[in-house]
Amino acid sequence: MLSSLSIHRLRVPLRNSFKTSVRSAHELETVLVRLTDQHGRSGWGETPMSKVTGVSAEASIRSLDGPLRALLFATKSLEEALAAVQHSPEPAAIRSALDCALHDLLAQAAGVSLAARLGGQGLTVQTDMTLSVAAGAESVAKALEHLEQGFDCLKVKIGAEHDAVAALRALRAAVGPRVMLRADANQAFQPQEAIRVIRELEDAGVNLSFVEQPVAAADLAGLARVNQAVETPIMADESLWSLNDLQELLRLGAASMVNIKLAKTGGLSAALELLNYARNEGLEVVIGCMLESQVGISAAASLATVLPQRAQDLDGGLWLRESPVLGGVAYAGPEISLPDRPGLGIIGLQGQ
């Protein structure tokens, strides 16, 4: 049984400006939730603000403190509460916070880490590091800085306002052939332009591991055109929110890889279903994140432990000047370590 729900709206400064083709951010705005059960255990979840999800802090708080609070406290068990949240019509990013907090509580009740409860192996995962949209020289300087920190997989944000081909060619020349380079366009191109850019990158020998979401999220036919016209693997991100989306991507042959994010799927329950379905259909899966805190990253990293060891896309917490919570994941260069404690291992808010 649940005894309380507390909601915390936070603004956390970033180390550096975060720029994509659709936004520029200097701070993380997020809403954390803390669910407490009758035994005094606390489960944590997060709804980060993002143009992708389209939810605001005000709307999140209204939803959490209104219909979702009423829904939760009408249930008689954690399992019943989890099922009720999954079937709620509230936005996915808001539901995700409660879904993750309930999974945290269920793992604590079982006395195991959330990673173990999800079927994961071990308590560490690797992440890439993101380079914001920038001119070539700036990207090269940042890339070399990250290599010194131990990263061997970099994800480069690209957009129409910069020469993506020149920037990525310069990066490849600077970092050498062994570093894994990924490109994320965040819907920046029309299909034909995406095909041109990717083919030029292929001809230049840049050797990208994949190009993520080169076209608009709703343009699945355009994404399929790109996927079928180039040799570089194409990853769907903003195009993938639900099982229906995944099935349509598969039907069209629109991508060979998918990026699963908890804020898009509505939490761990749906994300795990998507992960298993995608892998059974032969798609490669990467677990990603929004710009979010160690609360959301802890849940996503727990899910990532069920996948084979490869670089995930979970560097969101590295952009913060400091974590707003005690406990949860710890970063050491590209390695993310989950605490060897039941649930997510989050103790509480900093300073409280």
In this prediction, residue 347 carries a pLDDT of 96
- Sorting pLDDT into bands at 50, 70 and 90, what band is 23? low
Is 76 in the active site?
no
Higher pLDDT, 33 or 309: 33
Q: Is 150 left (phi over 0), alpha (psi -120 to 50) or beta?
A: left
Distance CA 163, CA 206 (A): 14
**CATH placement of domain 2-111:** 3.30.390.10
- Which superfamily, per CATH, for 117-349? Enolase-like C-terminal domain (3.20.20.120)
Which pair of structure tokens corresponds to residue 209?
């591991």
In this prediction, residue 132 carries a pLDDT of 83
* Residue reference for tokens 């649940």: 2
Structural domain boundaries of the chain? Answer: 2-111, 117-349
The helices-and-strands tally (H runs, E runs) of the chain is 13, 16
Average pLDDT of every residue of the chain: 95
What value does the mean pLDDT take over residues 282-311?
96
pLDDT value at 189 more than 80:
yes
- DSSP per position, 259-270: EE-HHHHTSHHH
Strand order in 42-48's β-sheet? 2-19, 24-37, 42-48
- CA 253 to mean position of chain CA atoms: 23
Strands (E), 88-216: 124-127, 129-131, 153-157, 180-184, 208-212
In this prediction, residue 178 carries a pLDDT of 95
Distance CA 237, CA 109 (A): 33
* Lowest model confidence (mean pLDDT) among 23-27, 99-103, 308-312: 23-27
- Sorting pLDDT into bands at 50, 70 and 90, what band is 134? low
Q: How far is CA 292 from CA 198, 251, 300, 314, in A?
A: 29, 32, 11, 9
In this prediction, residue 21 carries a pLDDT of 55
Is 261 in the active site?
yes
**Most confident option among 128-132, 163-167, 276-280:** 276-280
In this prediction, residue 160 carries a pLDDT of 81
pLDDT value at 135 more than 70:
no
Q: How far is CA 252 from CA 193, 227, 276, in A?
A: 20, 10, 19
Residue of 19, 51, 142, 157 marked active site: 157
- Sorting pLDDT into bands at 50, 70 and 90, what band is 136? low
- DSSP per position, 184-209: E-TT-S-HHHHHHHHHHHHHTT--EE
In this prediction, residue 16 carries a pLDDT of 82
Distance CA 75, CA 164 (A): 51
- DSSP per position, 209-233: EEEE--S-TT-HHHHHHHHHH-SS-
